[in-house]
Structure 1
Amino acid sequence: MDQDTHEHDGERHEQRPGRRTVVITGASDGIGAAAARELTRRGHDVVVVGRSSEKTAAVAGPLGVRHFTADFARLDDVRRLAADLRESVPRIDVLVNNAGGIFDRRELTPDGLERTWQVNHLAPFLLTHLLLDGLLVRGAAVVNTSSVAARIGRLSPETLVDDRPWSPQRAYADTKLANLLFTRGLDRRYGPHGLSAAAFHPGGVATNFASGTSTALRFLYSTRPGRRLMRTPEQGAETLVWLADGAAGRDWRSGGYYEKRKPARAPSRAADDALADALWQRSAELVGLTPGHPAG
């Protein structure tokens, strides 16, 4: 009998071995697309999620895998995506929250939320919770794409979800810290029930990541000299693939943060449980999760 084992001792969360169903958001380009190709090559059942229907289909088609589209700047899209996944992909072994970006201007989404926060944190927070029942049944893993930028994030229990003065870099750094806090929160709340969670930094990767901003990052990401200093999408996806293909407790520790397939130095704020709890509750309020929902 194929059976999962889960022990929440801080070191061991054995996932189901063998072929896995891996859902990757932000998979129409960059490291998400590279991970989709590599995980498919390794025999896993990959589900590609992207914002552009044309680009998403272009990645999924040659791989012969399922694909869905959703704009994370619209929470109704996230809710629809979750419903579609529950109906069409009842088994999810790994959910990779990879969609994200940095934006040039402070803009509110149709939901009335600052775009960086919604796309990078609130939308994946909501998607994970809408899929949570199935993830818990499977003893699944949640992998969150963070960044070294989290080190300059300055969230506090008093300043959460765009309460501070805005700049592209500040908003991005705060959301990347939020990704680490969300990972910690998932492990603390649902690790005892079999769920595993990890975050990783892909490194500076030559993708279209900063094409929507006029910050210095745009020069780095969009010019030939800048891109020569960066990793390829395949290299940036290596840790993502390692986490999705590996097993918590055997290959990596649930709740951990990784870079180049090794534990990475996280900012001290990422280990602040009071901050993680405050962010969790505020995020649940903003995406409309009820008090009785598991997010509470």
Structure 2
Amino acid sequence: MARKTIVITGASDGIGAAAARELAAAGHEVVVVGRDPDRTRSVAEELDAEHHVADFTRLDDVRALAAALAGAHRRIDVLANNAGGFNDRRSVTPDGHERTFQVNHLAPFLLTTLLMDTLVESVASVITTSSVAARRARVDLDDLDSGHGYSAHGAYGASKLENILFTRELHRRYHRRGISTATFHPGGVATSFATDADHLWGRVYRSPLGRRVMIGPERGADTLVWLAEGTAGEDWVSGQYWVKRRIARTNPLAADRDLARGLWEASAAMVEE
């Protein structure tokens, strides 16, 4: 198997760290990206890997990360947009966007588009961690920052549907130039996700019962590792949503080309300097 350069965001914990460990053990060059300096450094040192610290609530951090990655790597074979979060109350980032929307969608959108030249030259795969929460979500192009009638679950589900829409629009725009895309649901994983939230999901993630019924990070990372190591067109189909290494059904809105195009254009306008 050819050695790949694989950038994983959200790799200081959970399925990102688990995927980084497995891919590094398989001989790939893994680049660890995380928000927490100590945990990010710890995972990177364990793997003898390059690492970068970036807070996705700050788009300038994303711009700096993209510049650092492009400067350090002539080739990036896989960009795994895995960083994400859940917030139980509406808050606004320093960039003026609703936090869940920015961290889960807008920041990875910006990172991917800033790295596009490198990704195209590398004939890269862009893999994004989504969720079954997208299934009943809605995306309002006129209110992407959830300024009206905010719901924590609604904002999270919308961001996960946006991940799928982004994946499909990225495929439509760039697959002919060599980019392959995939998004996936890792399952209910026992990680630190949402554990600080004063909300139903936070209570579930903190509870002993929740920990018993959830899968471990290694199992949650399985589809990410499989996609990263595989070859689009041979092992998997570009532009699709995956669960347990299989193409899965999701929200019918994920197939709305006008919605996907509109989200791309709105996102590009939001990150334009």
Q: Give the TM interval when normalised to the shorter protein.
A: over 0.9
Residue 228 of structure 2 is aligned to residue 244 of structure 1: yes
Deviation at 1:90, TM superposition (A): 2.4
1:88 aligns with 2:72: yes
Structure 2 distance, partners of 1:96, 1:48, is: 10
The residue matched to 1:282 in structure 2 has which SS?
helix
Match of 1:4?
none
Amino acid at match of 1:116: T
When normalised by structure 1's length, the TM-score is 0.90
- In the TM superposition, what is the alpha-carbon distance from 1:162 to its structure 2 partner? 2.4
Does structure 1 retain, via aligned residues, the 8 Å contact 2:195–2:206? Answer: yes
Whether 1:216 aligns to 2:200 is yes
Amino acid at match of 2:162: A
Q: Does 1:254 align with 2:238?
A: yes
Match of residue 235 from structure 1: 219
Unaligned runs of 5+ in 2: none
Contact map agreement 2:75 2:121 (CA 8 A) in 1: no
Equivalent residue for 1:151, pick from 107, 131, 135: 135
Q: Deviations over 1:240-264 (max 9, x none)?
A: 0000000111111000110111111
Separation of aligned partners in 1, 2:169 and 2:87: 26
- 1:55-87 CA distance string (max 9 Å, x none): 001111011010000000000000000111111
- Against the structure 1 CA distance between its residues 161 and 249, is the aligned structure 2 distance closer, same or farther, given a 3 Å change threshold? farther
> How much has 1:275 moved relative to structure 2?
0.3
Question: Residues of 2 paired with 1:240 and 1:53: CA distance?
Answer: 23
| Aligned equivalent of 1:63 | 47
**Residue 164 of structure 1, CA deviation:** 4.5
Shift of 1:157: 4.5
Query: In structure 2, how many angstroms separate the alpha carbons of the residues matched to 1:146 and 1:226?
Result: 20
- Secondary structure (helix, strand or coil) at the match of 1:82 reads helix
The answer to whether 1:139 aligns with 2:123 is yes
CA shift, 1:219, in A, is 1.9
- 1:18 aligned partner: 2
TM-score scaled to structure 2, two decimals? 0.97
Within the candidate set 157, 179, 182, 1:173 is matched to 157
Q: Would the aligned equivalents of 1:49 and 1:56 in 2 still touch at CA under 8 Å?
A: yes
Aligned equivalents of 2:237 and 2:174: distance in 1?
Answer: 14
C-alpha separation in 1, matches of 2:31 and 2:4: 11
What displacement does 1:23 show? Answer: 0.0
Percent identical: 57
Report the residue type matching 1:171 in the other structure: A
Specify the code of the residue in structure 2 equivalent to 1:20.
K
Partner deviation per Cα, 1:99-121 (whole Å, 9 max, x = no partner): 00101211110101110000000
Amino acid in structure 2 at the alignment position of 1:40: A
Structure 1: 5+ residue stretches without partners: 1-16, 290-296
Q: Which amino acid aligns with 1:117?
A: F
In the alignment, does 2:251 pair up with 1:273? no
Q: Does 1:100 align with 2:84?
A: yes
Paired residues in the alignment total 273
Give the structure with the larger helix fraction: 2
CA distance in 2, matches of 1:67, 1:207: 21
Q: Distance in 1 between matches of 2:203 and 2:147?
A: 28
Q: Could you tell me which residue of structure 1 aligns to residue 174 of structure 2?
A: 190
* 1:111 corresponds to 2:95: yes
SS in 2 for 1:68: strand
Q: CA RMSD in A?
A: 1.1
Alpha-carbon distance, 1:266 to partner: 1.6
